[in-house]
Chain A
Amino acid sequence: MNINLTLIAEMIVFIAFVWFCKKFVWAPIINALHERKTQIADGLAAAERGQHEHELAEKRAIEALKEAKEQASEIIAKAEKRASDIVDESKTDARSEGDRLLTAAKAEIDQEVQRAKETLRADLGAIVISGAEKILEREVDASAHDDMIKKLAAQI
């Protein structure tokens, strides 16, 4: 219970403990705590940033999808238009081709008729002459009456 040298010894011990605590206990622990605090803050900020980016990406994705859909429908519309154009074109082509074929066929028919007429005319001359020969029962000079036969044949 007496106040004695213990007082001063305790003061020295206390000051030594405080010094040691400040240097080897408090500083490293509080540094670690601060470091962790900044790490957590950074982590949270990064997470928030990530979420924000995710939202942006989602928005972008929706936009891209919308654009793609628009493009697709445009392409489909174009394709449909093109298809109907092709159908129309081919219809026109087919019609003109048909007309052309028809005209060609008609021309050929005309030619055939003409040719048949020519042949007929030529054959008719010979038939007329041979008929006339039989009628006259004598030889007719074909060359002498050639003009006349030709006139007859032209009348057919």
Chain B
Amino acid sequence: MAGDTLTSTAYIKHHLQNLTYGQHPDGSWGLAHTAAEAKEMGFWAIHVDTMFWSILLGVIFLYFFSKAARKATAGIPSGLQNFVEWIVEFIDSSVRGSFSSKNDLVAPLALTVFVWVFLMNFMDLIPVDFIPAAFERFIAPVFGIDPHAAFMKVVPSTDPNATFGMAISIFLLTIFYSLKIKGAGGFAAELTLMPFQSSNKVVQGILIPINFLLEFVSLIAKPISLSLRLFGNMYAGEMIFILIAIMFNAGLALGIFGGFLHLGWAIFHILIVTLQAFIFMTLTIVYMEMAHSHH
């Protein structure tokens, strides 16, 4: 627990606050001590915990996979290679199933998305107080961080910055490939001449703004829904873990009950963790396919 004097509200707020580094309004640089301070920092601040955990997990993923890839042979695969090949083949068949054009980037993109998102989501299954408490006790003093400001959000995918970062990158890729494959004219035509069409030129001209409105909204909705879906699921899951964790402080009976709840939710969450990673990957492939296909 973050401290016995904490109220439930403070406990929850503490858990939902990122460790933010940025410029204070008075001009000095440092960590935000409260949520309000973090807000005041504006855009030019960075979530140290989100960056740390996402980069750590990405590096772990790439380390093991590239280790297997370096030793990859056509012969009989050994343990790690077998595991990596299993995932690679799963991604490969998913890409083959949904993506009909030829682009060497899509499969590695899907692999990165799937494994990285899975690992980031998986951090949700570590009991909510383990890492934050350890950080507060052991790591924060080393860096001279005030224990009250020692925020630590372990699950990067509960930070919309991380999910939007991925979704926007994928969105930019789809725009890039749309322009590359269809050309600026083709892409513009896709946005303005669909879904309503008319053989009459005048009617067609009137329909252009209507079509554009519809298509533009659906275009913008893609990255937003992609990132918010993952963020919402993980944030809600994290929130429930935090609420269950509050029970551990509320007496033996509630604590035991909370333990069972925690176990049940964790088991159920394994499904959500995997499913959200899979959905994120599949939608990435589908958006890339839409960017490559002609209507």
Point out residues on A near B: beta carbons under 8 Å: 1-11, 13-15, 17-18, 20-22, 24-33, 35-36, 39
Contacts and interface: CB of A to CB of B under 8 A. Distances in A.
B116 interface: yes
Nearest to A7: B161
Contact of B69 (A1, A3, A18, A29): A29
B5 to A, nearest CB: 24
Nearest to B40: A2
B177 interface: no
Contacts of B161: 3-4, 6-7, 9-10
Contacts, number: 136
B221 to A, nearest CB: 18
B85 A3 contact: no
Place the interface of chain B in its size category.
Answer: 35 or more
B214 interface: no
Contacts of A4: 20, 22, 41-47, 161
A142 B159 CA distance: 177
B293 to A, nearest CB: 22
Nearest to A35: B74
A33 B169 CA distance: 29
B51 A25 contact: no
A3 B228 CA distance: 13
13 contacts: A1-B18, A3-B43, A3-B164, A10-B50, A13-B58, A14-B169, A17-B58, A20-B62, A21-B65, A21-B111, A33-B88, A33-B92, A36-B74
Interface of B is mostly: helix
B54 interface: yes
B45 A25 contact: no
Interface string B46-84: 110011001100100110011011101111000000001
B227 to A, nearest CB: 10
A2 B16 CA distance: 11
B85 A10 contact: no
Contact of A24 (B38, B62, B73): B62
Contacts of A29: 65, 68-69, 72, 84-85, 88
Give the interface centre of B73, B75, B88, B108 by most chain A CB atoms within 10 Å.
Answer: B108
B108 A6 contact: no
Contact of B45 (A2, A14, A21, A33): A2
Contacts of B75: 36
Contact of B47 (A6, A28, A33): A6
A15 B59 CA distance: 13
B22 A10 contact: no
Nearest to B235: A1
B271 interface: no
Contacts of B20: 2, 4
Given A11-B169, A24-B66, 11 more contacts: A2-B45, A6-B51, A6-B162, A11-B166, A15-B169, A28-B72, A29-B72, A30-B88, A32-B74, A33-B85, A36-B75
